[in-house]
Each structure stands twice: as C-alpha cells, then as structure tokens.
Structure 1
C-alpha cells in the first residue's frame, strides 16, 4: 500500500469491548504497517485517567503502537473529548506525536486542517462550557493529583452524566455548526487550506462546500462502536471505508 495516509478517530477503546481492541490491533499490524503515517484524531480511549493507567488492555495497546512507530511508521495523536488527559508519558511510551487541535498538514499537496471536531459544535452551549473546564490546565493538574481510583471513579461519573445529558439534546445541536466550519476555513485562507478532517460527531461522510467561491471539503470520520472506520488518503483522492475483522 504505497503512498497512503490513514486517519481514524472515536475508537473509544475500552476493556469492556475487546473485539474493538482486537480490530484496532489488526489495523496496526496490517494496513498501518504499509502506510506512510497514521493519524488518530481524538477519543482513542473511552476515557483516560492519566498516563499512569496500568490496565492490561492499555498495556497491550501501548505495546502495539510502540511496535508500529519503531517499525518506521509515524503515529500522530490528538486529544478528544474523552481522552484529553493523554500526555507526554503516553507519547514517550508509544512513540506517538501529540498534535494540537486545528493543526495544518500538507496532505499530498493539499493543505488540510485536522481537528477532533467537538469545538465546532458551538450550538451545544453547555458542552462548550464543560469543554472549557476540561481543557483548563489547572483543572487537569488538580485531577491528576488524585489517586488512580479517584480518577477512575470521576471518569465513570462524568461518562454517565454525559450520556444522560446527550439523551436530552437534539441531534442537530450535537452536530457541527455551519458558520463555525466556514469561519475555520476563512481563518486558514492564507495557508491555502482546502480540506478539513475531523471526528467526534460519529457521522461519517464527505461534504463539499463553497466558501468565497472556492470549493472546500469536510471529511467526517466514523466511530468504532459497531465496526471500524478508516479514511484512506492517497495522492489522487481520499476514501472513507468501513473496517471489519479479517
């Protein structure tokens, strides 16, 4: 698989879903080994309590990522709304490189901005307020000072509260805001950005839009709850594909 870059997001890996962990390991051992790079755009884990996480399933995932990066395939990682506490320790253990939200890469000649995507869901005001708290370095420092058991309990509580809150929201509110997407492209005009790749919404699709007379593309990655979802990008084009066990 020459000249191919892979993009995934929203795997939500958790020991309670071993089949999805195995599917991810399959990707790392097969398609990813033939790729030029692998980008994970947030929510690799269902939740992350800190880089001292010692669960057996996490150790297996870290070892597989390390094997891939040591084979010469770079792996780039971005924070999601579930694993925002991923830090330098995880990167040192795996060889992954942590990217900032909204970074721009040259994807085979096309300037492309990468995001998890939750910051574009501006209609969901309560979530944006929560996001601001979760990304606050002081708050994160206070949480990481707690014991692993306390952090795990807090993560489970927050996950439960998030699930309950989402049942009360319309699906439109939890999707990206069109004006936010437009403003993002306009902010990157000088860099010549023509493409946006993101996850978070779990609505895999490719959207073509026209901004200031120019054709732009927004590619949304799918989640890994029922099956895998991978964006295969080559110099000619990008294609979203479902990913299944071999």
Structure 2
C-alpha cells in the first residue's frame, strides 16, 4: 500500500530525551515501510551547523550526541527504502546539504508543491504565513541571508552553541509578550499563497495549533491542514494512503 507520512515541529533537543526516543521509535515502527516521509521544519530546536556531527566529544550540551543518534535512525529509514524529504523550519534553518546527504534525504524548498494523485498540494513550514509578526519576519529575512549564515557558520563551535542558547531565550521571551493572533497565520496570506500556487490543499506546521480548517479560494472549497508539535508521549502526523486523502492524526508513543 502506498503511504506518505508528514510531520513537523519535533523541536528535538537534549532537554527532552523522551521526545527524541519517541521519534526514533516512530521511525522504527510507524514510518517503517512508508513510501515517503516529509519533515516540514523544526526537526531540531536549534541547529548550529552540519559540522555538529563531527564534535560529539566537544559538545557538553549533548546536541551533537542527539544529532548523531537521530541522523543514524533517519539513515536506517532511507536505507530501508523510504524516501525522505526535509524542509527548514524557523529553528533549524542552518540544516545543510551535508546533513541531508548523511541521512539520505532531499532538502525541500519552502514552499513546495507535491502531486498526490490528481491533486497538487502545497507544503510549507508555516512561519511565512504569520505576517502580523513583523519582528519575526525581519529576523527571518536576516537569518535566511547566505552572507549572514556564512558568518555564523564560520564562528567556533562553542560560540555557536552560546548564540543558539541566547536566541532560544530571546525567542521564548518575545513569544510570551506577543498576542495570540500575531503568532497565528494571517488568513489573507493563506488565501494569497494558495491562489498563487493554484492549490486547494495546504499542509503546514509552525503554529503548534493542529486542526483542519475549511476555507474558500476564489470561490472554490479549500482546506488548510495544520500539523501539531511533538510532546513527551504524543505527536502529530498527516497520513496519505493510496486514496490520496490526507488525514491528520494525533499519535501516541
């Protein structure tokens, strides 16, 4: 049976070992035998460069050890024949081709269009849909600048680890002071993006608000499927079987 699975927002980090082990278990059981797995951003809570895979002995934070553990489980999945696709999130935007090659994955652009049967489906991380969060959008523009990324990746590993910790703290403080609607998608932007890509189905993560939203795009019925984030004991996936119909599922592990 043809099966495609989509997940996002695992935010893996050493402080949440239950989520990491739950994800590895999901790869070894639920994802085993799937035709394709799509990770739509924020696999890691932070990513400071693909060379992290080389420095398990220089990283007291445990990020390198976690990266190696997860990379090994993902590589096993692709070695067993499952196609793996990886999209950048707002937390792990420095994931590069070296990491993708190491796990046998293909890096996806954001947005990306996927054909499911007779339908074109739009895949996004979802952060660009939150246009009312102007401060974040300004940071995103800076963080996706190749020159800025090159400058960051040239820093010593210890300095990058400190920077990642500082950015996480700043992000948490900023989020606590923002109104709920600012951190959610802008409905007009959703319609515009779907119209521009000629789709009636959009699947994304980022907002941590799992749901299926019915809407209209140019008087045509449409839907927006939002993946949730992973927490200890449970996560979220979209399953697409041979029928081509996406199903949002709350999963336990």
TM range (shorter): over 0.9
TM-score by length of 2: 0.93
Secondary structure in 1 matching 2:110: coil
Moved more, 102-111 or 140-149: 102-111
* Corresponding residue of 1:87: 96
| RMSD value, Cα | 1.0
* Corresponding residue of 2:74: 65
CA shift digits 1:182-236 (9 cap, x unpaired): 11011112xxx22110000000001111111111111000000242111111225
Stretches of structure 2 lacking an aligned partner (at least 5 in a row)? 54-63
* Corresponding residue of 1:212: 218
Secondary structure in 1 matching 2:47: coil
Secondary structure in 1 matching 2:181: coil
Secondary structure in 1 matching 2:81: coil
Q: Equivalents in 2 of 1:116, 1:236: separation in Å?
A: 21
Q: Equivalents in 2 of 1:160, 1:167: separation in Å?
A: 11
Identify the match of residue 180 of structure 2 among 158, 162, 171: 171
* Corresponding residue of 1:134: 143
* Corresponding residue of 1:202: 208
TM-score by length of 1: 0.96
* Corresponding residue of 2:195: 186
Secondary structure in 2 matching 1:46: coil
Q: Equivalents in 2 of 1:108, 1:26: separation in Å?
A: 29
**Misfit runs of 4+, over 3 Å:** none
CA shift digits 1:40-76 (9 cap, x unpaired): 0000001000001131121111011111111110010
Q: Equivalents in 1 of 2:12, 2:236: separation in Å?
A: 13
Secondary structure in 2 matching 1:172: helix
* Corresponding residue of 2:156: 147
CA shift digits 1:98-146 (9 cap, x unpaired): 0000110102322001100000000011110011011111000000000
Q: Equivalents in 2 of 1:212, 1:164: separation in Å?
A: 39
Aligned pairs for 1:43-122 (under 5 A) are 43-54=42-53, 55-122=64-131
Secondary structure in 2 matching 1:105: strand
